[in-house]
Structure 1
Amino acid sequence: MNNDIAYVDAEFRRRFIDEAGRVATIPRKDIYRQALLRYATSRFEARRTYTEQEVNFILLDIVDDHAWLRRMLVDLGYLERSDDGRVYRRIAT
């Protein structure tokens, strides 16, 4: 398997994303889960803050289990969350 990020992201889009831009099945392989996180992160603007409700709304456009995806984005450093959980921000990459 080619581990080039652009290749993996393209393969992820081809295999997991439907015509509406939604992911029906969460990938089992970590390499594709990372692609899912990059895909989800691309929906957030840099230097903008979001409420939890706004984050949930954006993520529901991608997957049904938005809470899981939100936790993964925060836990793996794609989004940062304020200590009180009210504000989210995309981490610059």
Structure 2
Amino acid sequence: MSRPHIPFAVADLSAFAKSLRAHLASHDGLPSHVELLNMLARAGGHGNFQHLRSEALAPSTAPVTSAQATPPLDRAKVDQVLRHFDDKGRMMRWPGKTNHQMLCLWGIWTYIPSGQRLTEREVNAAITEGHTFGDYAILRRSMVDEGLLARTPDGRIYRRIEQLPPPEGLAIMAEVQKRAEWVAA
């Protein structure tokens, strides 16, 4: 039976070295293998080696901190991208900038039903509902290329790929939905 690989990383190498030095200085003689593993784990911020091992081998269920989850929102970019959408939440034109195109796709992504297998005709209808410039094919292909839609190799069945958008994508999606709901009301 092979041993599992246990990754070990520290955020601050200097603090780690100081902590490890203190653990080694307080120990009489040369530490055993297990004692050294425990010292390394404690210096890295874990209770002991078993704690480090259980965290490394367990599925990730730790809550994501806000610093990890949300990079800062670029409000200026969101405002620039929203200029490509009308007051009904439909995309009016395909942007020239690639990073704006990707963010616009999040707005179109909101029109694709989640959790369903769709035919190409159904995907085209959903995309057509979300834009006014008449080129659903470029939007569909771009969504597949960017990993927002998956399709079978023959191109007959599509499905929306559920994922967490970047902060700008979330802001665009929220505004597109708000505009579309305002029209529906």
Q: TM-score, normalised by structure 2?
A: 0.44
CA–CA distance in 2 between the matches of 1:70 and 1:21? 18
Residue 87 in structure 1 maps to residue 169 in structure 2: no
Q: Which amino acid is 1:86 matched to?
A: R
> Structure 1: which 5+ runs fail to align?
none
Residue 22 in structure 1 maps to residue 90 in structure 2: yes
Query: In the comparison of the two structures, how many residue pairs are matched?
Result: 89
Q: What is the aligned partner in structure 2 of residue 41 from structure 1?
A: 109
Q: Which amino acid is 2:100 matched to?
A: Y
Report how far residue 62 of structure 1 moved.
Answer: 2.5
Q: What secondary structure does 1:47 align onto?
A: coil
Distance 1:87 1:31, change over 3 A: same
More strand by share: 1
Distance 1:45 1:62, change over 3 A: closer
Q: What is the aligned partner in structure 2 of residue 56 from structure 1?
A: 124
Q: Among the aligned pairs, what percent are the same residue?
A: 33
| Contact 2:84 2:95 (C-alpha < 8 Å) held by counterparts | yes
Say which of 54, 60, 72 aligns to 2:142: 72
> How well do the aligned residues superpose, as a CA RMSD in angstroms?
1.9
Instruction: Please list the CA deviations of residues 28-69 of structure 1 after superposition, one character each: whole Å capped at 9, or x if unmatched.
Output: 112211111111112223321111111111111223100111
Report how far residue 10 of structure 1 moved.
Answer: 4.8
Moved more, 75-84 or 22-31: 22-31
Q: Which amino acid is 2:93 matched to?
A: T
Larger Cα Rg: Structure 1 or Structure 2?
Answer: 2
Residue 12 in structure 1 maps to residue 81 in structure 2: yes
Q: Which amino acid is 2:114 matched to?
A: A
CA–CA distance in 1 between the matches of 2:88 and 2:130? 9
| Contact 2:111 2:130 (C-alpha < 8 Å) held by counterparts | no
Q: TM-score, normalised by structure 1?
A: 0.81
Q: What secondary structure does 1:88 align onto?
A: strand
